[in-house]
Amino acid sequence: MAKLIHKCMAWKTRRDFGRGDKIRDKGQTTPSDVIRFNDIVYGPDQKFKKWQMLDVYRPAANQKSEKLPVIVSVHGGAWVYGNKDIYQWYTLKLAQRGFAVVNFSYRLAPEVKFPAAIEDTENVFQWICNNADEYGFDLNNVFAVGDSAGGHLLTLYASAITNPEYKKTYPFIKDKPLTLRGLALNCGKYDMDPALEQNPLMSMLIEAMVPGGITKDTMFMLNASAHVTKDFPPAFVMTCKGDFLFSQAPLITKALEDAGVKYEYHCYGDDQMPLWHVFHCDPRLTQATVCNDDECNFFKSLIV
């Protein structure tokens, strides 16, 4: 029965989220000043091959052989929805700001359970290392953005590569010749305690993601704010007035503060003109342009 409930919930979430995203993205086209390389397979899972693909976007003015700083995008979607095609218009705009952008899909719940999304993220970072010369990636200056569930997954991944004790949870993560210089965590979900959830849907989404049901140990593993150490990358933490996850941002900023990690906190919109969850993904929105400029400038300040 639980499997059927999770499947139905995922279907409804994909339908409802998809309608809104189609309206937002209607009429979008690839900017003339960006070149793109599409549908590159990065993972070995033949059954879910469509979810293990990535795109690479680069400013057209730069030669492909020229090394550029990299932004990796970990998409949101409540762990059950989303792919690179939905995030292409947002991430193409990031490429216009002087970065090589890697925009990837990952395997979703409930079809594939955690930590599949973390494993896919690791596979993407390994792919970047293996293809740095081909696509002009500067491995000394790699950055990442993640929103909503993607912010959660990115925080877990960044903790896994900087916290030796937590890394033991993910034996598939290997040392790599790249430096993750900084992150942008956008409208993210960081506290995963279902006992504190006021939204029954959020609790069901968490249940759909984890194998074997929710346990105390599993929830601690998934609690993104619990594993931050002093070696966590510098972070740009963003939320907005009108974001239903507004209360989550202080949880990660406190963890960063307690660990002594460099971070910036930004809240966009105000009570008179509120925005909405992941507003920054709408490339037509003036506030999104401001936010994405701020994030890319934060990244540029960290380039060595």
141-160 tens-digit pLDDT: 999 999 999 999 999 999 99
Q: Is a pLDDT exceeding 90 seen at residue 27?
A: yes
Q: How far apart are CA 242 and CA 221, in angstroms?
A: 29
Using one digit for the tens of pLDDT, what is the confidence trace for 167-202? Answer: 999 999 999 999 999 999 999 999 986 555 567 778
The pLDDT, as a whole number, for residue 132 is 97
Using one digit for the tens of pLDDT, what is the confidence trace for 198-255? Answer: 677 787 888 899 887 778 888 899 999 999 999 999 999 999 999 999 999 999 999 9
Q: What is the mean pLDDT of the chain?
A: 95
> Residue 17: pLDDT band by 50, 70, 90 thresholds?
very high
> Residue 288: pLDDT band by 50, 70, 90 thresholds?
very high
Q: Is a pLDDT exceeding 80 seen at residue 64?
A: no
Q: How far apart are CA 116 and CA 124, in angstroms?
A: 12
Q: How far apart are CA 157 and CA 73, in angstroms?
A: 13
The pLDDT, as a whole number, for residue 25 is 97
pTM of the model: 0.96
The whole-number average pLDDT for the span 32-54 is 96
C-alpha angle 78/121/97, rounded to 5°?
90
Q: How far apart are CA 253 and CA 304, in angstroms?
A: 25
The pLDDT, as a whole number, for residue 213 is 75
> Residue 81: pLDDT band by 50, 70, 90 thresholds?
very high
Find out whether 73 and 146 touch, Cβ atoms under 8 Å.
Answer: yes
Max CA distance (Å), the chain: 54
